[in-house]
Every structure is written in C-alpha cells, then in structure tokens.
Chain A
Amino acid sequence: MSRPTLLALQILVAVVCIVLWQVLSTVPVFGKILLPPFFFSNPLDVFSQIVKWFSSGVIWKHLGITLTESILAFVIGSTGGVLVGFWFARQPLVAAVFDPYVKMVNALPRVVLAPIFALWLGLGIWSKVALGVTLVFFIVFFNVYQGVKEVSRTVLDNGRMLGMSERQLMQHVYWPSALSWMFSSLHTSVGFAVVGAVVGEYLGSAAGLGYLIQQAEGVFDVAGVFAGMFVLSAFVILIDYGVTLVERRLLVWRPTASDGRG
C-alpha cells in the first residue's frame, strides 16, 4: 500500500469515529440519544475546551510540570538502574543476596506507593518524580543486568586476547552492551516515566495534566476529562517520536528486523 493511501485510511478512521461520536451524542436515534452528553460529552465541546486551554495559555504550565516530572523521573530512574544493574551483574554475590527483595519490590503495584510519597515529599513535583523513578528504575535495572550478563562469550574472549584490561573491557565491551539493552527499553521506560508523573498528579497535586483531568472529573466536566486525555495522548506521542529519533541516532550499529542479513 502506498503511503498516501495508508495515511488517508488512517485519517478516515479518526473522521468516522469523531462523526459517529458527534451524531450519536446529539441526534436522537429512535427517539433516544445513545450517548448521553452528561457521560460522553461531544467532540465539539471537547475540541473547544482544548482550544480554550491553548488560547488562554493555562495548558502550558500543566504540560511543563508534567514534562519536568517525566524527565526527572526518567533521568534519575535510568541512572540508578544502570548503576545498580551494572553492580549486580558484576557482583553475583550481591545479586544473589538482594534477589528476593528486588523481586518483592518489583511485584508491588507502584500506585500504592503514591500516598507514601505524597506524605514524605509533599504535593509538589518530587512525589510524582519518586513514583516515576520506582517504575523506570526496574525496567532499566533488569535490562542493564541482562545486558551485562549476556555479553557474548566470544566477544569477551576476543577483547581479552586483544589485550584489554578489566577497565578496558568495561569501557569497550560491558558498557556498550549494557547501554544497548537500556536503549532497547527506552520506549517503555519513557512511557512509564510519564505514567508515574500523571498518576501521581491525579492522586494529589496542584498542577499537571493529571491534576487537570482530576479537577474536571471532580466537577463532572466530562468534556474536560476527554480534552485532558487527548492532550495527554498527543503529549506522549510527541515524546515517543523524540525517543525514536534519539534511538535511531544511538543504535545505528544494531541490525533491524527489516535487514536482509543477520
């Protein structure tokens, strides 16, 4: 299928959905409105709400807060994950001792930590960052741990035979291998950083996209809830696109599935 056709079909899906939504929420079918506006609002209202947010400029502050929280959560969580992952992989004893605890903490649904973080760190951005960090950390940690442990035996032996010292092996073999695993989970970890931020805001805050949605919900403003959801989706798609660009730059050396050769 050619690109324009595909794009046309993709847009068609959106148009059909929005038109159906608009029609079903405003025009009675057999004397009954199938999507009551109180519960479902309608696309026009949602759209005008979004326009109002952007034209008045209030949305920028919330977007900025959520973005800051996501970035901080990602950076802190990744750094911690890389360092601990590296340490555990190089010290099997440490890894063995901490193994059950790591599993236990990772098994915990992170949302229940939100109230604790709110208590400890207040309603500002840091309680949201902390929630995001607990999500990002484990993804990066497991990937880096795996990456260091699964360095190809042959590549390692080759490094040794070429005369690499332990430090050089670290720099030229373990480190790039671990980073490549970390980058392969980049989409997931960035996504989780945003999840942490938004869920944290939703559960208690004074600003951010999650706060916006929660406020709208509190006054039964369904158009506001949907508007918040759409802005959030667009926000995540933009970030994800950014991640794709970074990835393409950093992982040029990696074969992609579409490559003919293995």
Chain B
Amino acid sequence: MSTPTAVALEDAKVAFRLGDGRVYTAVEKAHLAVAQGEFVAIVGPTGCGKSTLLNVAAGLLKPAAGSVKIFDRPLAGLNRDAGYLFQADALFPWKTALDNVAIGLEIQGTSRAEALPRAQKWLTSVGLGAFGGRYPHMLSGGQRKRVALAQVLIRDPKILLMDEPFGPLDAQTRQVMGNLLLDLWNADRKAVLFVTHDLEEAIALADRVVIMSAGPSSRIIGDWRVSLPRPRDIFEVRLDKEFHALHREIWSVLKDEVMKGYAQSTQAAEAV
C-alpha cells in the first residue's frame, strides 16, 4: 500500500508579466510529489524560483500551466491544509507572543478562553513559556521564529510549507531551530516542503533533497533520498560519513547551477 500524496505539482509552470509587457518564466514544468509524512527540502541557487514554487503549493500564486493537487484534489484558492512559515517576520507586531499563537485558533472560531491555554502550551513546547506577554519587537530573531512556528503548528495543518524560515538567523541559532523543528515534526510527521539555499541544512533535515537549476525557466534537476537514520541530531549528523558522501554528490551538481546563477545575476547587474 502506498502512502497518499500530500502535495503534487504536475508540470507546474510559473510565469510573471513584467512591467514592459514581456513574460518572465520563473519555473518551467516542475514535477514534484511530497508523500504524507515526508520531509522534502528544495535547494537551489539564489533566484531559481524555489520560493515561487512554495507559493504555488500554498495557493498564494496560481501556476500559468500545469496543476497543483493537495491530497489528490486540485487546489482552488488558498491551500487550507497547509501552514506556512515565512522567511521574513510575519508575526502580528501589535499582538503579544501568546496572542500571536492563539490567533490561529481564534480565527477558526475557538473561544479565547479555550485558545489561550492551548497557545500557552505551544509556547512552552517551543521553549518560550515565560515569554507570552512579550511583543514581537521585544524578542530576538530566533525567538520570533519560535513563536511563528507555534503560530503555524497550533492549527495542526496537515502540510507544512517553509520558505527559508531560518535564513535570517545566525549559524548556531539555525542549528538549534533545526533540531527543534525535527523534534516537533517527529511527534506527528506532517508532510513538509522546506525551501533553503543551504545544502547542509537540507540534508540534515530532510528525507529527500530536490535540486533546482538556476533561473529563469528553472527546472528540477535532481532528487536524492537521504537515508540517514531518524531521529537525527543536526549537530551529530553532520559528522556522519554518509552525510559527507551525499553532500559531495549533490554539491557536484548544485555547484554548476550556483555558478550559473551567480554569473547571470552579475551579468544582469552589469546590463543595468
């Protein structure tokens, strides 16, 4: 028996109309399936459209061609089964940490009296039990990400979409957050689509690593299975021999694309 597919992008193409009327194709015919309970990381050079692909899966963006299926149903409008963790700060700055977490439930019609204790429980599980009364600007970047994680997870979405969520954090905090994410994920194993430019992070976290080519018109050019045992510890797993072998193998493909992407972005800068 095969596990059901949580997210399926079928030949999804993403294009934008530019200001001067030309059409810019960000992603060409992306074909990607994330099974239930699977943790998939998308890695690609800057500007390859990996975040764009995530927005398509979220329903924030409509593909120009191809289709998106969520649990085998075509996606119309926003993806109600998904929780989205943004790269930039997305907390409501006028709400306290506790209210920011509780709002996810309150929107669904849960009473405030019922939502608050559950929000407190989630804050505690991301290690911020004592910070419920703080406003986002009183928290550090890492703490804000923890609140954002709790805000998304309290709704218990079946799918987690993450757009370089730990990108703005420093190296140590990223690893700590990675471990926290793995711990929380291990509890109920949601389907995860995790976008990052950091190959090491991708291998350490994911079951599968998907590589995209440099944009424009980028495609999926590689798909590796990571068979490192779980539960993993991000600090430890990086010392593993298998980790290194896999890293070398994927990097040999990714390196060319990174150089291409870099060359294109510098050329574009010179043209301007």
Chain A interface residues toward B at CB < 8 A: 152, 154-155, 157-164, 168, 172-173, 176-177, 180, 252-255, 259, 261-262
Which residue on chain B has the smallest CB distance to residue A176? B94
Cα distance A147–B108 in the bound complex, in angstroms? 26
Q: Which residues of A contact B86 (CB under 8 A)?
A: 154, 157-158
Within B43-102, the residues touching A (CB, 8 Å) are: 58, 60, 78-80, 82-84, 86, 88-96
With beta carbons under 8 angstroms apart, the residue of B58, B94, B135 that contacts A161 is B58
Most-contacted residue by chain B among A158, A161, A163 (CB, 10 A): A161
Cα distance A164–B109 in the bound complex, in angstroms? 11
Q: Is B137 a contact of A259 with CB atoms below 8 Å?
A: yes
Given A162-B103, A180-B94, A253 and B135 touching (CB < 8 A)? yes
Cα distance A57–B248 in the bound complex, in angstroms? 88
- Is residue B221 within 8 Å, beta carbon to beta carbon, of the partner chain? no
Q: Is B137 a contact of A157 with CB atoms below 8 Å?
A: no
* Interface of B: prevailing SS: loop
Q: Which residues of A contact B171 (CB under 8 A)?
A: none
Q: Which residues of B contact A261 (CB under 8 A)?
A: 137-138, 140
Q: Which residues of A contact B89 (CB under 8 A)?
A: 152, 154-155
Which residue on chain A has the smallest CB distance to residue B60? A157
Q: Is A253 a contact of B137 with CB atoms below 8 Å?
A: yes
B133 to chain A, nearest CB (A): 10
- Is residue B104 within 8 Å, beta carbon to beta carbon, of the partner chain? yes
Q: Which residues of A contact B82 (CB under 8 A)?
A: 161
Known A-B contacts: A162-B152, A259-B137. Give 20 more (CB < 8 A).
A154-B89, A155-B90, A155-B92, A158-B90, A160-B78, A161-B79, A162-B103, A162-B104, A162-B107, A163-B80, A163-B104, A172-B103, A177-B94, A180-B94, A252-B135, A253-B136, A254-B93, A254-B137, A261-B137, A261-B140
Q: Which residues of A contact B91 (CB under 8 A)?
A: 155, 158
Cα distance A150–B143 in the bound complex, in angstroms? 25
A117 to chain B, nearest CB (A): 37
Q: Which residues of A contact B140 (CB under 8 A)?
A: 261
- Is residue B155 within 8 Å, beta carbon to beta carbon, of the partner chain? yes
Cα distance A88–B266 in the bound complex, in angstroms? 41
Which residue on chain B has the smallest CB distance to residue A168? B107
Cα distance A123–B260 in the bound complex, in angstroms? 76
Most-contacted residue by chain A among B58, B90, B103, B136 (CB, 10 A): B90
Q: Which residues of B contact A180 (CB under 8 A)?
A: 94
Q: Which residues of B contact A254 (CB under 8 A)?
A: 93, 135, 137
Cα distance A176–B100 in the bound complex, in angstroms? 14
Q: Which residues of B contact A252 (CB under 8 A)?
A: 135
Q: Which residues of A contact B78 (CB under 8 A)?
A: 160-161
Interface digits, B109-150 against A, CB 8 Å rule (1 contact, 0 not)? 000000000000000000000000001111010000000000
Cα distance A255–B95 in the bound complex, in angstroms? 13
Given A155-B92, A161-B82, A163-B155, A255 and B107 touching (CB < 8 A)? no
Most-contacted residue by chain B among A154, A155, A162 (CB, 10 A): A162
Q: Which residues of A contact B92 (CB under 8 A)?
A: 155, 158-159, 172-173, 176
Most-contacted residue by chain B among A160, A168, A253, A255 (CB, 10 A): A253
- Is residue B151 within 8 Å, beta carbon to beta carbon, of the partner chain? yes
B236 to chain A, nearest CB (A): 32
Q: Is B107 a contact of A163 with CB atoms below 8 Å?
A: yes
Cα distance A125–B89 in the bound complex, in angstroms? 48
Cα distance A57–B138 in the bound complex, in angstroms? 49
Q: Is B137 a contact of A162 with CB atoms below 8 Å?
A: no
Task: Pick 27 A–B contacts, CB within 8 A, sort by A.
Answer: A154-B88, A154-B89, A155-B93, A157-B84, A157-B86, A157-B90, A158-B84, A158-B90, A161-B79, A161-B84, A162-B103, A162-B104, A163-B107, A164-B107, A172-B95, A172-B103, A176-B92, A177-B94, A180-B94, A252-B135, A253-B94, A253-B96, A255-B137, A259-B137, A261-B138, A261-B140, A262-B137
Q: Which residues of A contact B93 (CB under 8 A)?
A: 155, 253-254
Cα distance A254–B137 in the bound complex, in angstroms? 7
Cα distance A262–B90 in the bound complex, in angstroms? 14
Which residue on chain B has the smallest CB distance to residue A160? B78
Q: Shortest 6 CB-CB distances between A and B: which pairs?
A: A158-B90, A255-B137, A253-B135, A161-B84, A176-B94, A154-B88
Q: Which residues of A contact B90 (CB under 8 A)?
A: 152, 154-155, 157-158
B155 to chain A, nearest CB (A): 7
B191 to chain A, nearest CB (A): 16
Cα distance A100–B88 in the bound complex, in angstroms? 36
Most-contacted residue by chain B among A152, A158, A262 (CB, 10 A): A158
Q: Which residues of B contact A152 (CB under 8 A)?
A: 88-90
Which residue on chain B has the smallest CB distance to residue A250? B94
B34 to chain A, nearest CB (A): 17
Q: Which residues of B contact A161 (CB under 8 A)?
A: 58, 60, 78-79, 82-84
A225 to chain B, nearest CB (A): 45
Cα distance A173–B100 in the bound complex, in angstroms? 12
